[in-house]
């Protein structure tokens, strides 16, 4: 399976500088569907045979995850509580506890790091494991997957997920994260699907286009064009797809055509940096909470481990009255080490999904980093050097997007060639602009 001599597709570009040495082309996707619901069944195992559901963290009036028993009664995710109770009067509802779910998932990641150093979490309940070189340690892909299943079973028995049924775990093995993910979605509960290099092209081509991560508007447009499967998308000219959807279209077409293999990218970076404050009296005022976020971010930025790193992802969580929890996460568009740039997306999310109860403890955690710093250097020529660097970075990003869509930038700059020439046309020239 792994020894094919065929030419391998090119890599998809990674996002982090620090992770270049932690990459794996072969991947295992471990997927726990409805991870939050299973975490609740850990704490309320007497409800395993009853219809249950977890409320959405951002809107407690709607359902988030629904048990199979409740689904058979007609209850579906995103339903309002009144609709669900009307369909199933015996439905048991649990308020979301995102902090607990995050802790359980983090424990799982720690256990999986004993299998491979290349671990990439995708979302709650889904993680990719790089297995390049594991055939020399554990043998065939089936044996590699057996090792991972044993590790997960040990995690369950030691308290990480003791009430989480083993049959809920699905595993997919393949070359690249996309192939592994599609294989996991096709695996039966408690089983694994292994896709060899010879099977990969035919397997992915037969899958629905909805498996690609894309904007709903793009999916709607593809559906209106009659594109149902990945093979339909791959048959379209690449230039036509790029002209319609830009850089996103190039990524979607490349995945559908098998032109790229997106490797598992491990994270080589400092341990998460945490700053916490305990309020003497529970706080419900949003202004006070926003001010507390600023102070906590400042404290975390001063941590010695943060030196030389910019922040890419930040998380804020709170313990509320009656043991309830609240959590928001923000992935920054541009990595930064400035307090206001980090706090702004958190404050926006705080306004959209505020805590439902007074807060007793507030915590800020830096979870992802990028090497380098955008702070002013000691020997900077002037105080605007950092701003100029930021503008150059923005221009480079815009230029890449234009080139990806139109194959040329169409941007030029005027350069002085013969300043003393009498002819104006000879004094200056237009050249391609490349910041």
Indicate if the pLDDT at residue 350 is higher than 70.
yes
Indicate if the pLDDT at residue 90 is higher than 60.
yes
Question: pLDDT value at position 278?
Answer: 93
Per-residue pLDDT, averaged over 329-337, amounts to 87
Question: pLDDT value at position 307?
Answer: 78
Question: pLDDT value at position 10?
Answer: 39
Provide CATH code, domain 273-371.
Answer: 3.30.1490.100
Residues 13-33+100-264: name the CATH superfamily. Answer: Reverse transcriptase/Diguanylate cyclase domain (3.30.70.270)
If one compares 164 and 389, the residue with the highest pLDDT of the two is: 389
Q: Would you place residue 434 in the very low, low, confident or very high pLDDT band (cuts 50, 70, 90)?
A: low
Mind spelling out the 3-state secondary structure of the chain? CCCCCCCCCEECCCCCCCCCCCEECEEEEEECCCHHHHHHHHHCHHHCCCCEEEECCCCCCEEEEECHHHHHCCCCCCCEHHHHHHHCCCCEEECCCHHHHHHHHHHHHHHHCCCCCCEEEEECCEEEEECCCCHHHHCCHHHHHHHHHHHHHHHHHCCCCCCCCHHHCEEEEEECHHHHHHHHHHCCCCCEEECCHHHHHHHHHCCEHHHCCCCHHHHHHHHHCCCCEHHHHHCCCHHHHHHHHHHHHHHHHHHHHCCEECCEECCCCCCCEEEEEEEEEEECCHHHHHHHHHHHHHHHHCCHHHCCEEEEEEEEEEEEHHHCEEEEEEEEEEEECCHHHHHHHHHHHHHHCCCCCCEEEEEEEEEEEEECCCCCCCCCCCCCHHHHHHHHHHHHHHHHHHHHHHCCCCCEEEEECCCCCCCHHHHEEEEECCC
Share of the chain above pLDDT 70, in %: 86
Question: pLDDT value at position 28?
Answer: 94
pLDDT tens for 10-54 read 334 333 333 345 788 999 999 988 899 988 888 887 888 889 999
Mean pLDDT of the chain: 82
Per-residue pLDDT, averaged over 373-394, amounts to 52
Per-residue pLDDT, averaged over 279-290, amounts to 91
Segments of the chain assigned to CATH 3.30.70.270: 13-33+100-264
Segments of the chain assigned to CATH 3.30.1490.100: 273-371
Map tokens 């009498």 to a residue. Answer: 422
Question: pLDDT value at position 161?
Answer: 47
Q: Is the pTM higher than 0.75? A: no
pLDDT tens for 128-158 read 999 988 888 888 889 989 999 888 888 877 6
pLDDT tens for 181-211 read 999 999 888 889 999 888 888 888 888 888 8
């Amino acid at each position: 399976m792994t020894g094919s001599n065929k030419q391998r597709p090119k890599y998809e570009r990674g996002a982090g500088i620090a992770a270049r040495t932690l990459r794996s082309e072969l991947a295992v996707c471990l997927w726990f569907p409805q991870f939050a619901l299973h975490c609740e069944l850990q704490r309320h195992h007497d409800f395993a045979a009853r219809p249950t559901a977890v409320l959405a963290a951002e809107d407690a009036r709607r359902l988030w995850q629904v048990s199979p028993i409740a689904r058979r009664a007609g209850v579906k995710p995103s339903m309002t509580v009144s609709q669900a109770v009307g369909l199933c009067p015996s439905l048991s509802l649990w308020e979301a506890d995102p902090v607990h779910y995050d802790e359980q998932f983090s424990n799982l990641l720690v256990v999986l790091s004993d299998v491979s150093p290349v671990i990439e979490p995708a979302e709650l309940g889904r993680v990719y494991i790089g297995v390049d070189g594991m055939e020399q340690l554990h043998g065939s892909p089936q044996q590699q997957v057996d090792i991972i299943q044993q590790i997960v079973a040990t995690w369950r028995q030691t308290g990480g997920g003791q009430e989480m049924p083993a049959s809920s775990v699905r595993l997919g093995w393949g070359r690249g994260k996309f192939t592994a993910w599609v294989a996991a979605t096709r695996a039966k509960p408690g089983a694994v699907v292994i896709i060899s290099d010879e099977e990969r092209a035919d397997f992915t081509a037969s899958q629905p286009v909805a498996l690609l991560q894309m904007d709903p508007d793009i999916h709607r447009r593809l559906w209106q064009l009659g594109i149902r499967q990945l093979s339909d998308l791959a048959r379209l000219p690449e230039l036509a797809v790029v002209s319609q959807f830009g850089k996103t279209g190039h990524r979607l077409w490349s995945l559908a055509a098998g032109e790229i293999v997106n490797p598992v990218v491990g994270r080589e970076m400092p341990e998460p940096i945490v700053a916490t404050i305990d309020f003497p009296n529970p706080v419900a005022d949003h202004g006070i909470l926003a001010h507390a976020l600023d102070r906590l971010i400042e404290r975390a930025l001063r941590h010695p481990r943060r030196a030389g790193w910019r922040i890419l992802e930040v998380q804020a969580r709170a313990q509320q009255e009656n043991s309830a929890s609240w959590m928001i996460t923000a992935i920054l568009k541009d990595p930064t080490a400035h307090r206001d740039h980090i706090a702004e997306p958190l404050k926006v999310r705080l306004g959209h999904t505020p805590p439902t109860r007074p807060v007793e403890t507030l915590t800020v955690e830096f979870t992802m980093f990028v090497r380098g710093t955008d702070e002013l250097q000691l020997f900077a020529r002037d105080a605007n050097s950092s701003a100029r660097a930021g503008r150059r970075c923005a221009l480079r990003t815009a230029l890449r997007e234009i080139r990806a869509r139109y194959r040329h930038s169409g941007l030029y700059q005027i350069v002085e060639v013969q300043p003393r020439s009498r002819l104006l046309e000879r004094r200056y020239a237009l050249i391609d602009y490349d910041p």
